[in-house]
Amino acid sequence: MWIFGGKGPSGYSARSTAEEVTQGIDGTGFTAIVTGASSGIGVETTRVLALPGVHVIMAVRNVDAGRSVKEAILEELPSAKIDVMELDLSSMASVRKFALDYQSSALPLNLLINNAGVMACPFTLSQDNIELQFATNHIGHFLLTNLLLEIMKKTSQESNVEGRVVNVSSGGHRLAYREGIRFEKINNETEYNAIQAYGQTKLANILHANELARRLKEEGVQITANSLHPGVIVTNIARHHGIFNGKSPCRASSIIDAMAKKCVLAS
């Protein structure tokens, strides 16, 4: 079975690397946005997309960290085409500014990889007074996708190449509240559970991708939308053990999924 290293229907297994999966692909002429590209999964996604020639836009909250990642990739691959743009997904104003700036750039958009997120942090409200995990993991990406969708439609139509929207969700969607998404209790601090609140955001990512895929197909647009569970990835997730006792701030960045029922954050 693929989970034990055997190949699945796709020809790949859980042990397959991103470079193996993309081997032989020519990404020249394609443009991708990767949110949370300054660490973790976002860094590797950026690097591997850049290898075959994809123009990657690193959408990051910490621009300095993003630039450092860009420089490191350019040292390995001088021909890489990478730009860094500021994006704080917990702020709707920041999302709208990013979308306007991107529109002004006149760049096409083939791939939108909604990767950034926060995980199981202490109860915090965003600038828009929305619980921070829900604001960052779902609302921010939902708004970003909607604002960029017309660019993606135009790109797919002009290039006749199918576009992709990818929501990095998690098997942690199974840990959501019993009733699923608590739309009427998003900001209810007294009933807040960090893990279950995270789970409901990942459930929202899946539902978003499913409904978007249905609508795009119904509309006859050459864009597909998918969600995925990236698995448990060994990155810098252990840097914020203090979050378990509520002493560390909740910060938005690249999401690293962990199925253990403890309070952890990827950044």
Q: The dihedral of CA 55, 166, 36, 14: what is its sign?
A: negative
Q: What is the dihedral of CA 181, 143, 49, 220, to 10 degrees?
A: 90
DSSP β-bridge partners for residue 228: 168
The span from the CA of 50 to the CA of 81, in Å, is 7
The span from the CA of 68 to the CA of 48, in Å, is 17
Q: Which of 186, 39, 193 is nearest to 116 (CA)?
A: 39
Residues 6+ apart with CB under 8 A from 128: 90, 91, 92, 135
Structural contact between residues 46 and 58, judged by C-beta atoms closer than 8 angstroms: yes
Q: The dihedral of CA 218, 219, 221, 226: what is its sign?
A: negative
- Check if 192 is active-site: yes
Catalytic residue (choose from 12, 102, 177, 192): 192
Structural contact between residues 130 and 200, judged by C-beta atoms closer than 8 angstroms: no
Structural contact between residues 83 and 5, judged by C-beta atoms closer than 8 angstroms: no
- Residues labelled as active-site residues: 192
